[in-house]
Structure 1
Amino acid sequence: MVSTAVITAGGDVTTVLALARFAAHLPDSADDVRVIAADQGLALADRLDLDVDVLVGDLDSVDPEQVSRAVAAGIDVRRHSTDKDATDLDLALDLALAGGARHIVVCDGGGDRFDHQLANVLVAARAARHARVTVVTTQAVVSVITDARELRGSVGDVVTLLPVFGRVDGIATTGLLYQLSDESLVPGSSRGVSNELVAPEARVTIEAGTLLAVQPGR
């Protein structure tokens, strides 16, 4: 069993800023870490200098030469039909959870499909029922909260709290400009949008539901 799974998904990111954002959320040690590349995420893993353990997906958007190199390197390749009912990220999350991961970091390189990016965040949020989940994209860091999470950043950084899958109750915060105490938020409400850090670390706790803490960064 592994304690942490790093999943790379999305496009071949080349900008220094985005790569630095991803790298900042990777585990400090390679011990007990499993790296899973979801289809084109193989290119992102290469850019992040990660040793991939498993490549999974229908492999319709990854460079065939990269796949050949992965096979030659002994990477476990799990190819699925293009007619599958799950996204490549969904398959990668299933592998991470089946391997016993207690913390999952999804590095989503995005691309030109907003529907894919939105689906990726929501699919990852579902996995938070079984593990602590963080989604890092080229534009934001999303911490999925099902009980309590610490949020780190610089004073003045934006933090938006968004409920998903239903009502979130018992929300309490410290370290944010607009503090919440035993509050509730419902999907579709803008009340949690554009809060901000007043300290380098904030804490958000909830009693029921699933809450996304979105930090766009500067």
Structure 2
Amino acid sequence: MVETTAVVVIGGLPINKSVAKYLPHYDYVVAADSGLHSAIDLGLRVNLVIGDMDSVDPAVLVAAEINGVTVQRLPRDKDATDTELALLAAVAHGSRQIVLVTSGGGRLDHQLGVLSAMQHKALKDCEVSALWDTARIQLLRGPGLCTIHGKVGDVVGLIAQHGDATGVTTDGLKWALNEGTLEAHSSRGVSNELVATTATISLAHGQLFVIQPNALEA
């Protein structure tokens, strides 16, 4: 199976169209239900639309199908969200870099569900990130290293997931850590700042969301 880069687009508020210029070179695009509208607005070539189709415009869906887009219709009553199933479809296709795109907004449980789905065990060997309205989010799993870019003074948040994040070392952030621990359910990692245009975060054990709230143009 050839490894690919996938973009997974989900529904929400009207999409920030400037997001398109932040996308990596991609091979495969999955739209979750009404994420099809956002994908079209971004000018993406969609390969698969997946979901229960309760929020996508039927006419837009039919047009996509006529144009060769694969449509996978799922029952409304199921044990996973359309977003989770779209991410799993990207993995099944062979994608090892997955960028989720969303405008955010909508129900809080849906938004938390998106962050949870990004950490699905089936994605453990994938590089997972999100372009979330004006934010860039990277999921860092230990042992691992990520590099971020921005302007001096830009805000960066480091949020532990699923237990403590240990062996955290940063370079290029105002409040540096050297083999430090960011405890689960702690706000210690919120509101750090870049002191250089490039910074690195390394992690020995655990998981971190590395969040740049204003990395993208509005």
TM-score normalised over the length of structure 1 = 0.92
Contact 2:153 2:193 in 1 (8 A): yes
Please state whether the residue corresponding to 2:75 is helix, strand or coil. Answer: coil
Unaligned runs of at least 5 residues, structure 1: none
Q: 2:42 aligns with which of 23, 41, 48?
A: 48
**How far does residue 12 in structure 1 lie from its aligned partner after superposition?**
5.2
Q: Deviations over 1:148-202 (max 9, x none)?
A: 1111111111001000111111101111111111011122111101001111111
How many residues align structurally? 211
Report the CA distance shift for 1:122/1:139 in structure 2 as closer, same or farther (over 3 A): farther
Counterpart residue identity of residue 129, structure 1: K
> Which residue number in structure 2 is paired with residue 63 of structure 1?
57
- Provide the C-alpha distance between the structure 2 equivalents of 1:48 and 1:73, rounded to a whole number of angstroms: 17
> Which residue number in structure 2 is paired with residue 145 of structure 1?
140
Report the CA distance shift for 1:176/1:133 in structure 2 as closer, same or farther (over 3 A): same
> Which residue number in structure 2 is paired with residue 171 of structure 1?
168
Contact 1:145 1:213 in 2 (8 A): yes
- Provide the C-alpha distance between the structure 2 equivalents of 1:194 and 1:19, rounded to a whole number of angstroms: 26
- Provide the C-alpha distance between the structure 1 equivalents of 2:21 and 2:166, rounded to a whole number of angstroms: 31
**How far does residue 115 in structure 1 lie from its aligned partner after superposition?**
1.5
> Which residue number in structure 2 is paired with residue 13 of structure 1?
14
Contact 1:54 1:77 in 2 (8 A): yes
Q: How does 1:1-218 map to 2 (within 5 A)?
A: 1-11=2-12, 13-14=14-15, 18-20=16-18, 22-27=19-24, 29-30=25-26, 33-126=27-120, 128-146=123-141, 147-217=144-214
Counterpart residue identity of residue 49, structure 1: G
Please state whether the residue corresponding to 1:188 is helix, strand or coil. Answer: coil
Counterpart residue identity of residue 160, structure 1: G
- Provide the C-alpha distance between the structure 1 equivalents of 2:113 and 2:42, rounded to a whole number of angstroms: 23
**Which deviates more from structure 2 when the two are superposed, residues 131-140 or residues 34-43?**
131-140
**How far does residue 110 in structure 1 lie from its aligned partner after superposition?**
2.3
- Provide the C-alpha distance between the structure 2 equivalents of 1:53 and 1:194, rounded to a whole number of angstroms: 38
- Provide the C-alpha distance between the structure 2 equivalents of 1:68 and 1:2, rounded to a whole number of angstroms: 30
**Which deviates more from structure 2 when the two are superposed, residues 108-117 or residues 2-11?**
108-117
- Provide the C-alpha distance between the structure 2 equivalents of 1:39 and 1:187, rounded to a whole number of angstroms: 33
Coordinate RMSD, CA, aligned: 1.4
TM-score normalised over the length of structure 2 = 0.92
Counterpart residue identity of residue 194, structure 2: L
**How far does residue 11 in structure 1 lie from its aligned partner after superposition?**
2.4
Structure 1 runs of 4+ aligned residues shifted over 6 Å read none
Please state whether the residue corresponding to 2:117 is helix, strand or coil. Answer: helix
Contact 2:167 2:178 in 1 (8 A): yes
- Provide the C-alpha distance between the structure 2 equivalents of 1:164 and 1:202, rounded to a whole number of angstroms: 21
**How far does residue 109 in structure 1 lie from its aligned partner after superposition?**
2.2
Q: Deviations over 1:62-101 (max 9, x none)?
A: 1111111111111110110000110111101111111121
